[in-house]
């Protein structure tokens, strides 16, 4: 069969049901074959959006998202989404058309050296140079993307190899999967070593990261902590790993963390970090001048080496976090290991209750925080949230209390504006029964504005909450603090009715709210609507995101702002 047919057969065998992309001449043989296959092609407004949609598909579900694009500017358009997925350890497969082999290295139309461009930003780049290995390239890439520390894999596919005949073996998916199965377990001696350290702790704290943000990871940490009841804080990527409504789940830690999370880290004596990358917005605030022993579990060997050098942890294990936690839980049950930390857990629960988030309640302008507080009261278990990047993102992370993993999808490490809408397109296809909600700011929304066309024309049941403060709020806040209040490039010269745009793109419901009194009624209508729906809320341009721990400051220097107070 021709190479293009071989590729489609591979994807079908791998269980791929959707691909996200944009067509072009150098990938047309593959697109043509996809058009007659069982796989649905979701066409985005541009290639960056297609790759973000594929990443959203991975983040929300259990399969690897696949993006298919053409050569030259098409593949370079995916670069930001690829780098974003690499930074957040998201599995992604990008298949890109390329000029024919005999034109490689020339000034041929839409040719670029993909390996040189993508090498530092991807887990792996494969430049296909033989039709004979095409099947193994596709299947290897799929399982490589999801194995170990997950990440994006790029396949650079010359046009002539899509058109050339080749043999296809098939029926060998398990063999390829087994190559990348390398589950490591803790020995009994390692388990005992961990519990020896834990036994000496009186104020232990769990630091939960994105490495636990799977069904298996969430189940493992809940099983482990059902016995020990250790208070927890989490990274942005780990929202929902534990039920955030629990009294001792103190929420987001870091530069814009919750007051209770940022306070409790100053007091702990045993810091158990699981599946985290030690983000600078978290770690730099601590310096670990506090007297806390450290235990660390993660799958990334490079990060493990770095932490061993910098932090001298008492206990480390390199491997899958869920498997390691299951080993620890099983060992604790077998040996009936328990800890007595009743006073500490009471302290954690009191901190959470005593230091609630708050915002300005007496002004005329609607606050983003109050919109998200209102939405939190209306959460249901079937909701999946995606966000853009900015103040709205961190306020959503603070106010929306998630109960389940993979329900809060956001660009964490790379901080990519424009992430929210295309990621929602992917999540909508990964979880068709879920209520998918985009939370966006007007700055981030405009970055991939074309996706309201994708959502509207495909009639995807995605709900967009647009918090429009007519500015880039997070940078504007920084200008007020560090640049004398000079707003050089963060404010909009004119207002734009984005809800009207959505109506032109076939949204059955698109409302714009400017008055606080109209907000609850319109939010309820928006949540109840069928099909695409947008609620645009005009919010206060002067709202400031609190709490904040400034660069170079410690958690003890956390600024609570004028409205957050001890209750």
- Neighbour tally for 269: CB within 10 Å: 15
Dihedral sign for Cα 458, 463, 469, 472, please. negative
CATH at 297? 3.40.50.1220
Q: Assess if residue 286 is contained within a domain.
A: yes
- 392 and 341 within one domain: no
pTM, two decimals, is 0.95
| CA-based nearest residue to 385, from 441, 412, 415, 423 | 423
Handedness of CA 207, 213, 215, 217 (dihedral sign): negative
Domain finish residue from 354, 388, 404? 354
Tell me: do 313 and 451 sit in the same domain: no
**What is the pLDDT, as a whole number, of residue 517?**
97
**pLDDT value, residue 285:** 60
Same domain for 304 and 170, yes or no, is: no
Beta pairing partners, 409 = 386
User: Residue 479's Cα: distance from chain center in Å?
Assistant: 27
For residues 380 and 301, state if they share a domain: no
CB 243 within 8 A of CB 271: no
Q: Are residues 459 and 373 in the same domain?
A: yes
pLDDT computed for residue 302 by the predictor: 85
Give me the number of domains the chain comprises.
3
Residue 377 has a CB neighbour count (10 Å cut-off) of 9
The candidate with the shortest Cα–Cα distance to 52, out of 434, 394, 411, 405, is: 411
Q: Are 207 and 136 in the same domain?
A: no
Q: Which domain holds residue 107?
A: 3-179
Residue 552 lies in a domain: no
Q: Are 198 and 338 in a shared domain?
A: yes
Q: In the prediction, which pLDDT does 307 show? A: 84
Is 147 inside any structural domain? yes
d(CA 168, CA 134): 9
Cα of first residue to Cα of last residue in the chain, in angstroms, is 70
As a whole number of angstroms, the distance between CA 537 and CA 499 comes to 10
C-alpha span between 400 and 149 (Å, rounded): 28
Distances (CA, A) of 436 to 188, 212, 370, 506, 539: 43, 22, 21, 18, 22
Q: How far apart are CA 248 and CA 241, in angstroms?
A: 13
Helices (H), 200-293: 215-228, 259-264, 280-283
Contact (Cβ atoms closer than 8 angstroms) between residue 316 and residue 296: yes
pLDDT of residue 40: 98
Cβ burial of 309 (10 Å; 0-12, 13-18, 19+) is exposed
319, 411: one domain: no
**CATH code, domain with 15:** 3.40.50.970
Looking at residue 132, its pLDDT comes to 74
Helices 368-376 & 391-399 angle (0-180, nearest 10):
30
Phi then psi for residue 509, to 5 deg, are -130, 125
d(CA 336, CA 107): 69
Chain Cα centroid distance, residue 443: 19
Beta-strand pair 204-208/232-234:
parallel
Q: Where are the alpha helices (DSSP H) in 14-78?
A: 28-34, 47-60, 73-77
Q: Are residues 100 and 173 in the same domain?
A: yes
The two three-digit tokens of residue 290, written as one number? 């506090």
Separation between Cα atoms, residue 98 and residue 18, nearest integer Å: 22
> Is 404 domain-assigned?
yes
Is position 124 within any domain? Answer: yes
| Spatial distance between the Cα atoms of 64 and 142, rounded to a whole number of angstroms | 7
Cβ-based neighbours of 68, under 8 Å, separated by 6 or more: 19, 20, 21, 27, 30, 31, 34, 41, 50, 94, 95, 96
Q: What is the pLDDT of residues 412-454, one digit of tens each?
A: 999 999 999 999 999 999 999 999 999 999 999 999 999 999 9
Residue 533: name the closest of 561, 559, 499, 482 by CA.
Answer: 499
- Residue ranges of the chain with per-residue pLDDT less than 50: 288-289
């Amino acid at each position: 069969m021709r190479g293009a047919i071989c590729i489609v057969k591979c994807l079908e065998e791998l269980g791929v049901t959707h691909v996200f992309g944009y067509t072009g001449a150098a990938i047309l043989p593959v697109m043509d074959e996809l058009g007659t296959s069982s796989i649905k092609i979701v066409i985005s407004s541009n290639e960056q959006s297609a790759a973000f949609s594929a990443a959203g598909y991975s983040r929300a579900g259990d399969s690897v998202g696949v993006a298919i694009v053409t050569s030259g500017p098409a593949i370079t358009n995916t670069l930001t989404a690829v780098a974003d997925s690499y930074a957040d350890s998201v599995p992604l497969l990008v298949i890109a058309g390329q000029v024919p082999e005999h034109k490689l290295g020339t000034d041929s139309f839409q040719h670029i050296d993909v390996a040189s461009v993508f090498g530092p930003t991807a887990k792996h780049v494969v430049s296909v140079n033989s039709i004979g290995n095409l099947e193994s390239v596709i299947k290897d890439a799929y399982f490589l993307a999801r194995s170990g520390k997950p990440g994006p894999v790029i396949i650079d596919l010359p046009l002539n190899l899509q058109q050339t005949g080749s043999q296809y073996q098939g029926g060998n998916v398990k063999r390829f999967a087994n190559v990348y199965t390398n589950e490591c377990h803790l020995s009994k001696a390692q388990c005992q070593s961990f519990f020896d350290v834990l036994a000496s702790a009186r104020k232990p704290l769990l630091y939960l990261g994105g490495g636990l943000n799977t069904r298996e990871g969430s189940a493992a940490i809940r099983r482990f902590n059902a016995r020990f009841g250790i208070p927890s804080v989490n990274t942005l990527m780990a929202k929902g790993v534990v039920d955030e409504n629990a009294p001792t789940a103190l929420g987001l830690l870091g530069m814009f963390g919750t007051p209770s999370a940022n306070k409790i880290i100053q007091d702990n004596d045993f810091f158990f970090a699981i599946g985290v990358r030690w983000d600078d917005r978290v770690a730099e605030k601590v310096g670990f001048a506090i007297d806390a022993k450290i235990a660390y579990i993660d799958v990334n060997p490079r990060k493990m080496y770095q932490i061993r050098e910098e932090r001298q942890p008492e206990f480390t294990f390199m491997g899958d976090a869920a498997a390691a936690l299951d080993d620890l839980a099983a060992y604790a049950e077998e040996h009936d290991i328990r800890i007595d930390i009743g006073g500490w857990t009471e302290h954690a629960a009191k901190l959470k209750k005593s230091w609630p988030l708050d915002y300005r309640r007496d002004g005329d302008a609607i606050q983003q925080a109050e919109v998200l507080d209102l939405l939190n009261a209306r959460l249901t278990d079937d909701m999946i949230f995606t966000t853009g990047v900015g103040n709205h993102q961190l306020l959503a992370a603070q106010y929306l209390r998630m109960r389940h993993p993979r329900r809060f999808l956001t660009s964490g490490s790379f901080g990519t504006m424009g992430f929210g809408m295309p990621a929602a397109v992917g999540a909508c296809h990964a979880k068709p029964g879920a209520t998918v909600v985009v939370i966006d700011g007007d700055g981030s929304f405009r970055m991939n504005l074309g996706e309201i066309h994708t959502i509207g024309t495909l009639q995807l049941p995605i709900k967009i909450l647009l918090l429009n403060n007519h500015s880039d709020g997070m940078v504007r806040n920084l200008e007020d603090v560090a640049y004398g209040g000079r707003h050089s490039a963060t404010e909009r010269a004119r207002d734009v009715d984005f809800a009207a745009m959505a109506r032109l793109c076939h949204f059955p419901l698109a409302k714009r709210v400017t008055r606080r009194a109209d907000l609850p009624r319109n939010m309820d209508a928006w949540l109840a609507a069928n099909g695409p729906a947008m609620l645009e809320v005009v919010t206060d341009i002067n709202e400031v995101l609190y709490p904040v721990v400034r660069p170079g400051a410690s958690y003890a220097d956390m600024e609570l702002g004028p409205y957050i107070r001890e209750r």
